[in-house]
Amino acid sequence: MADHSFIFTGPNYTVAATGVAETFGSFAQAVVANKEGAVVVGALPFHAHDNPRFFRPDDFRCCESIDEVVLAVARTPVPQVINCEALPSRAEHCLKVAQMIALINASEVDKIVLSRAERFRLAAPVKPERILAGFLSAAAKDTVAQNWADAEAHKNAHVDWVLADGAADEQSQVVSQGFGYVLELESEACGEVGEQKAFFVGPSPEVLIEKRGRVIRSFPLAGTTRRSTDPEVDQHRAQQLQHSVKNLHEHKFVTDGIKSVLSPLCSELHVPQRPVLMHTSHTWHLGTPISGVLREDVDISVLELAQLLHPTAAVNGFPERLVAEILAEIEPERGFYAGAVGFSDENGDGEFRVAIRSAYVCGSTVIARAGGGLVHNSRPSEELAETDTKLGPIRSVLGLGRNDFHDDFDPLTFDSTAVDVFIPACMKDAAVGAERKC
């Protein structure tokens, strides 16, 4: 079986590709090729100044199921993890969080998303399909809590997401779904020396944009809490999340931003007033199922829509330009994490997802990254715990527990009052009376 250069799977369909027939050096080149009838797969990076990864595969096909793609490797053992390094350290992440909260409290920023990474060294190389299979297996075994929603009713969740405001009670407003992707990258993407291919792998359930003809859909996620193995505790946490002022405030930044981009393009656009609950194997999320119909005079591909929407406040923050400049300064290494990964077929239809909780797979090295949104009442210890939770799926795939390889740093002892003031580079001149650059 030929190695896959691209896999994209959800509850309704799986597409897979092999080979790289033509690489596009820029987003504009990819758009032109797509307009001329080429299938384009790939990803937008988080930072606008980084290079995207788009190509036309040798072969692109729809599969009957994901088993057709990953079954050959799904039962092979994952090599043992021999080392794990936190990037930055957990203490440094708390420091950054505290600095950003201070910036928010100074009314310079309303929301910012900070992330951190963990680099795992394995005893032997691992195939990206095996990592994907592990993510999907965890989703399939997701029996942590009583599933409030009928799985069959939501099998077509990303086709019939829309719930009329007030038309469903809380128990019906829960979506359970499994997603995943694999994308072949340039060999140097991991920064590793050697000839191993680099891949970008993730289980993101966050749909940036889906387009079928003139119908478009988006499913942004913002607001997260950890799940529990105790069904009663798990349901209680879900209800707390659904009514959390902090998380609802964070979520609204995201839906407002998407609405502002899509409204001018649509003859119809439905954005529910309140988010719904959805869950993965490790987390509860707030999500808003957005749907619309493009205007008849709008000729735009899903690839172009993805570029217009990316990055949303779910992975960036608000105000967008200032936050993007701050993140370029303090997290320049994001790469495709929090970017957008997906495909656009010969008709300009397809889907792009936000690349959250993603991992680079390069031979025997796996680099995973996760983040969380900060607003005025965020706390460093809780934000660190959120990243621990979001790194849970990749740790499970690699056979690790939540605390394996962790240092002895206790976030509850962290003193946020002793943090030095952080002034972004684009604001430093303004601090001494010069014109502000952001």
β-strands 14-18, 4-9: how paired? antiparallel
Average pLDDT, the chain: 86
Domain membership flag for residue 397: yes
CA–CA dist 112, 123 (Å, integer): 36
Specify whether the CB–CB gap between 303 and 348 falls below 8 A: yes
Instruction: Give the structural domain span for 106.
Output: 4-405
Position 172 pLDDT exceeds 50:
no
Tally Cβ neighbours within 10 Å of residue 183. 29
According to DSSP, residue 179 is labeled: -
Please tell me the predicted confidence (pLDDT) of residue 256: 94
In a domain, 437, yes or no: no
Name the pLDDT band for 230 (thresholds 50, 70, 90).
Answer: very high
For residue 172, the tally of other CB atoms under 10 A from its CB is 15
Q: Which of 104-108, 132-136, 168-172, 284-288 has the lowest average pLDDT?
A: 168-172
End-to-end CA distance of the chain: 51
CA atoms within 13 A on the CB side of 74: 12
Q: Dig out the tokens for 434 from the structure.
A: 């010069």
pLDDT digits (tens, 9 = 90+) for 84-118: 999 999 999 999 999 999 999 988 899 999 999 99
Edge-to-edge, what's the strand order for the sheet holding 207-212?
A: 22-24, 53-56, 40-44, 340-344, 350-354, 207-212, 215-219, 290-294, 266-270
85 lies in some domain = yes
Tokens standing for residue 42: 């790939």
388-410 residue pLDDT tens: 989 998 999 999 998 898 888 88
Domain annotation covers residue 245 = yes
Asked whether the beta carbons of 223 and 237 are under 8 A apart, the reply is no
Q: In this predicted structure, what is the pLDDT of residue 107? A: 85
The full DSSP string for 249-290 is HHHHHHHHHHHHHHGGGEEEEE--SSPEEEE-SSEEEEE--E
Q: Which pLDDT does position 139 carry in this prediction?
A: 63
287 falls in which pLDDT band (50, 70, 90)? very high
In the predicted structure, residue 148 carries a pLDDT above the cut 70 = no
Long-range contacts of 390-393 (CB under 8 A, 24+ apart): 390/224, 390/282, 390/283, 390/356, 390/357, 391/118, 391/357, 392/281, 392/282, 392/283, 393/135, 393/138, 393/203, 393/280, 393/281, 393/282, 393/357
Residue 424 in any domain: the answer is: no
38-49 per-position pLDDT tens digit: 999 999 999 999
3 state DSSP class of 342: strand
Residue 310 pLDDT exceeds 90: yes
As a whole number of angstroms, the distance between CA 175 and CA 149 comes to 7
Domain CATH number, residue 107: 3.60.120.10
Looking at residue 26, its pLDDT comes to 96
What are 360-380's pLDDT values in tens digits? 999 999 999 999 989 888 999
The pLDDT of residue 419 is 80
Task: Enumerate residues 6+ apart whose C-beta is below 8 A from 239.
Answer: 170
Higher pLDDT, 93 or 178: 93
Rg (Cα) of the chain, in Å, rounded?
Answer: 21
Residue 417 resides in a domain: no
Angle between helices 90-105 and 380-390 (to 10 degrees): 130
Provide the domain count of the chain: 1
Query: Cβ distance 341 to 55 under 8 Å?
Result: no
Axis crossing angle, helix 90-105 with helix 320-330, rounded to the nearest 10: 150
Range 155-179 average pLDDT: 36
Cis status, amide bond into 380, omega within 30 of 0:
no
Which residue bears the tokens 């993890």? 81
Query: How much is the pLDDT for 238?
Result: 94
Residues 6+ apart with CB under 8 A from 153: none
Is 349 inside any structural domain? Answer: yes
pLDDT at 435: 56
Does residue 142 have a pLDDT over 50? Answer: no
Q: What are phi and psi of 395, to 5 degrees?
A: -65, -40
C-alpha distances out from residue 423 to 322, 412, 419, 431, Å: 12, 25, 12, 8
The whole-model pTM stands at: 0.87
Quick check: is 298 in a domain? yes
The runs of H, that is alpha helices, within 106-215 are: 128-140
